[in-house]
Structure 1
């Protein structure tokens, strides 16, 4: 599962290894680029593209864009980022992953890559049933300010947090 799929680098890599991937992307323009990349690589049967973001609620949200609307760049976020002037905003849809998972008939999910620009904690809250049931290993972008909250979450659910590179952390389920 690729949450915050952007243009699909992680999804394409995993699908080329033979695995099926569900890719979730909030920004409509970026979702279109993701669909093009999946099609150009002939991976439509391996990658399911979902044009919505993941949160702890369902509805529409404002997307904060620190770059021009026509620039296909990273950094777009539901949450306002301090010290990042906005160039534009747009609207996007969000859903709880638990709702999607139930509709998809509760498939086994493992691993999860989660990079949603400081909205990771809310995304995980909306996936609590799926995570509790599937116990996936997760690669999550967690900054220093988010880390204490994630440590508490991990302790409560019997996960350990391993440092990877930069803000990337591996959340590994404990037996």
Structure 2
């Protein structure tokens, strides 16, 4: 779910207090906790290295992304959250688009999808359609690795398993295209699918050409970056780098210690070329974000 291998210069850190984080705890059961966070109630896995850890310690996850989306959406919009994980962004998206809007969330990990649905229920998000499915270029089925969710891991960074993997190491999940979803409009497609971004875009080409939504696409795989950039440009989009830090000094719990150090996510904001935009973001020149 995040380009945890990518870094920018170290951010300043401060002393941890933990008081607000402790006060926000509503329930704990084994490796699971429920806390009152910036954007609502969240059940999360304490053993998740990034999303869970950030919600636990800071009461939010990648708030810089939400700040960007806030400029792109309004009530009544339709957004896709592809690779929604447990809903750290989905819940906010649902509130932003409101009752007249809609969010379609894809999450292929069965256990993570269960937590996504729990968070949607906890926050009364009736305008979200949470699909247990892997988005891709074609429909059918896919495989996801079998994981031990009681052991520490980056559960937001799990790629699909090979198609020929066995039932001992993986389990089947439905696969579908974004184009197979019927929507009255489309304003934003957020894609974070661990190296499968180009396939998801290919499976959304009809909706992209019809509605010309903003796209927000992870691009942290060097071996796939050039092809992804080419695919997006072929749809007549301008691309801009967005590199949000995982740590927000103004986090919801007021926690001063930066446990994520220099980690950033490597994403692109993709804007239809016919749409005027004023932004301080750096336009993509080279598929490697370090170069351009």
Per the normalisation by structure 2, the TM-score is: 0.52
Name the residue aligned to 1:29. 111
Residue 272 of structure 2 corresponds to which residue in structure 1? Answer: 173
Alignment check: 8 A CA contact 1:11 1:23 kept: yes
Question: Matched residues in 2 for 1:108 and 1:64: separation?
Answer: 34
Please identify, of 19-28 and 30-39, the stretch whose mean Cα deviation from structure 2 is larger. 19-28
Q: What residue number does 2:20 align with?
A: none
1: distance between equivalents of 2:130 and 2:233? 32
Q: CA deviation at 1:168?
A: 1.1
Higher relative contact order (CA 8 A, sep 6+): 2
Deviation at 1:88, TM superposition (A): 4.2
The secondary structure found in structure 1 opposite 2:89 is helix
Unaligned runs of 5+ in 1: 81-86
Q: Deviations over 1:87-129 (max 9, x none)?
A: 94222111011122xxx2x421111111011111111111111
Alignment of 1:1-175 (within 5 A): 1-17=80-96, 18=98, 19-43=101-125, 45-64=126-145, 67-70=147-150, 73-78=155-160, 88-100=169-181, 104=182, 106-143=183-220, 144-165=222-243, 166-175=265-274
**How far is the alpha carbon of 1:23 from its aligned partner?**
0.8
How far residue 3 of structure 1 moved from its aligned partner, in angstroms, is 0.6
Task: Provide runs of 4+ in structure 1 moved above 6 Å.
Answer: none
- What secondary structure does 1:35 align onto? helix
Q: Which residue is 1:83 aligned to?
A: none
Checking the alignment, whether the CA contact within 8 Å between 2:198 and 2:231 is kept in structure 1 is no
Q: Distance in 1 between matches of 2:180 and 2:95?
A: 28
Over 3 Å counting, the alpha-carbon distance change for 1:110 and 1:134 in structure 2 is same
Could you tell me how far apart the structure 2 residues matched to 1:79 and 1:171 are? 28
1:79 Cα deviation from its structure 2 partner: 5.2
How many residues are paired up? 163
Q: 1:70 to 1:130 in 2, by over 3 A?
A: farther
Task: Give SS of 2:175's match.
Answer: strand
Bigger CA radius of gyration: 2
